Amino acid sequence: MIMKVLEKIVFQKNKKVIYACFSFLIFLAFAGLLFQFIRGFKDMDPSWTLSTGIEILGIAICAVVFFSCIQSVESVEDHIAVFIPQLLVCALTLFFDEMAWLVQDLPDYRTVNCITNSFLHVSYHALSFLFWLYIQKTLGVRNKFIDITNTVFLIGFYMYSIVNILDIFFPIFFTVDSNGTYARTSLYDLKWTLYLVIIPAYIYILIKSKASAKTKIVSGTLYLLPILAEIVTRFKFGISLKPASLLLAIILNYGVLVAEREKRIAVTRHELGIASKIQMNLLPNIFPAFPDRKDFDIFAMTVPAKEVGGDFYDFFMVDDKHLAILMADVSDKGIGAALFMTISKIIIKTRAQLGGTPSDIIEYADRRINEKNEAGLFVTVWLGIIDLETGHIECCNAGHDYPAIMNSNEGYKIEKDIHGMPVAFMPDVKFPGYSFDLKDGDRIFLYTDGVLDAKSIDGERFEKERLLKVLNSNKYKNDEDLIHIVKNSVTQYFGVVPQFDDMTMLSFTYHGTK
C-alpha cells in the first residue's frame, strides 16, 4: 500500500509540487547557513563546527541532485523519480542534525535540542524505509513475503516514531540534561531492532533478484554506509557521519542509475542510427535515378527532425512509359511514424505497380491501412502518374500540401488542386482525382509541411510565399541544385531554432520526347 501511495505522489510528476519541493530544499540550505551564523562559533567544539558545515553542504548537494532529477519532469524515469522523496527526507535529516549540534550545551535551548533530536530519529527511520522501498524496486522482487515485511516494518516505524516523539518529554532513547547536553540512554540501541525485520527479506531479495551483482552491491550501500558511520560515531562523539553517509549512499546509487541510463541512451541512439540508415535505404537515394532516360529529370531529399521520421517520397516506373511520383507525410514523428511510413509506402507502391488510377491506388491503400490502425495515425499523400510520351499526368491529393507547378513560359505557382481527406483519417472515404498536361520544360515541386511550417526565431513560418520566391529565383537550376537551395534557405530561416518537423522535397522536370 505504502509503495502505491508513494508512486502515486512521485510519479504523477506534478510540476508545481516538484518545484515547490526544490524551493524547500533551497530554503533549508539557506536556513541552515543562517542559523549557523546566528549561533556563531563561540563555545562550539571544532568537531561540531565540522559536522554543521558538512550538513549545510549536504543540504545544498541534495538540492543540486534534486534539480538534476527534475530537469525534464515529464520524462523522469521511475527509478530516478524515487530519489525525490529520498532527497527531501535526507535534507531534513541533515537539517535536524545540524540544529541539534547548534543547540548542544545551550541550557536555554534544551527544548529545541529535544525536539530536533526526536525528529532526527524519526527521519532516520523514514529514510531507511524509503531505502527499503527503493531496493525492492531496483532489484525487482515483490511478493507476499515482501509485502508482509513492509507491513511489519511500517508498524514498527509508527511505534518507534511515537516513542521518539515521547523522548521530548521522557528520556527513553536519549536525554538532554539541564545544561542542554545531549546523551544516549541505555535503551538507545533498541531502536536498531527495527532493521532486524528487513534482514531476512533483504537476503531473500538478493537471492531471487536477477539484477546484476553491481546493482545489488551498490543498493546495499544504502544500509552499509550508515551502519559503518554509526560504528565510527560510537568511538568519537561530535562528528556526525551518519547523515552524510546517507547522502553519500543516495548519490552513489543515483550515479549508478544515471550511468546505466546513459548506457541505454547510447544503445538506443546506435539502434536509431541503424533504423535511420534502413529508412533512408527504403527511399530512392541514388541519383541520377534514371541515367539512360532523357525525357525527364528527378531529384528528392528528406531531412528528418529526429533520427527517423514520418515523411517519405518515392518514384518508380509503372511500365515503360509511365512514371509514378509520390510525396507523403505521416501525422507524427519518430519511430512510430517511421513504421507507419514503411507500411504505407509498401502498400501504395505495390498497388501502383498493378496499374490503375491514383484515386484507385489511394482508395486501396486507405482500406488496407485502416484495417489495423490501432495507433490512430494517418498520412497525407500526393500521388501522380505521368505519361512520359504525352506529358499527361493523373493525380490524387489525399490531404497533402498543394504542389508548386512551373510552366516553362512562367514561374512557379501553387496549384490548388482537388483536395481529399488524408489516408486512414476516416474509413470508407473516396479520393477524387484530377489531371493536367505537362509541356517540355514544365516542372513539379512537391514538399511536406515541414518546409512551410519552419519557424524563425521570431516565431514566423516560412510559408508558401517565401517558398515561391526561392523557387522562382532559381527556376533554371537543375532539380538537385534547386532542392539544395530550398533546403539551405529553410535552414537559414529557422537558424538556431531546432527543426521540429520532417522536411522532404521532390523536384521533377519534364523534357518531353524530343
Are 219 and 364 in the same domain? no
Residue 350 lies in a domain: yes
Are 421 and 339 in the same domain? yes
Residue 317 contacts residue 279 (beta carbons within 8 Å): no
3-class state of residue 318 by DSSP: coil
Are 323 and 186 in the same domain? no
Boundary of a domain, candidates 239, 270, 301: 270
Residue 161 lies in a domain: yes
pTM above 0.75, yes or no: no
Are 288 and 320 in the same domain? yes
Q: How far apart are CA 482 and CA 445, in angstroms?
A: 10
Q: Which residue has the cell 509503372?
A: 318
Are 209 and 336 in the same domain? no
Residue 136 lies in a domain: yes
Cis peptide before 288 (omega within 30 of 0): yes
Could you tell me the three cell numbers for 186? 541505555
Where residue 464 sits, what CATH number does that domain have?
A: 3.60.40.10
Residue 210 contacts residue 140 (beta carbons within 8 Å): yes
Could you tell me the three cell numbers for 226? 550508515
Would you state the pLDDT for residue 488? Answer: 92
Q: What is the pLDDT along the chain (514 residues), one digit of tens a residue?
A: 444 555 455 545 567 777 888 899 999 999 999 999 988 888 888 888 888 888 898 899 888 888 887 765 555 555 566 678 888 888 999 999 899 989 998 999 999 999 999 998 888 888 888 888 888 888 888 888 888 888 888 888 888 889 888 888 888 888 988 898 888 888 887 877 777 888 888 888 888 888 888 878 887 777 777 777 776 666 666 567 777 777 788 877 777 777 777 777 787 777 777 776 777 778 888 889 999 899 999 999 988 877 667 788 999 999 989 999 999 998 877 777 788 888 899 999 999 999 999 999 999 999 998 888 888 889 999 999 999 999 999 999 999 999 999 987 788 999 888 888 999 888 888 999 999 999 999 999 999 988 988 888 888 888 899 999 999 999 999 999 999 999 999 988 887 677 777 889 999 999 987 5
Would you state the pLDDT for residue 331? Answer: 81
Would you state the pLDDT for residue 206? Answer: 86
Number of folded domains that form the chain: 2
Could you tell me the three cell numbers for 326? 509520390
Would you state the pLDDT for residue 77? Answer: 55
Boundary of a domain, candidates 270, 305, 322: 270
Would you state the pLDDT for residue 363? Answer: 94
Range of the domain at 248: 2-270
Q: Which amino acid is at 268?
A: T
Would you state the pLDDT for residue 211? Answer: 80
Would you state the pLDDT for residue 412? Answer: 94
Are 250 and 300 in the same domain? no
Q: How far is CA 193 from the centre of its chain?
A: 42
Are 242 and 307 in the same domain? no
Asked whether the CA dihedral 470, 476, 479, 480 is positive or negative, the reply is negative
Would you state the pLDDT for residue 364? Answer: 94
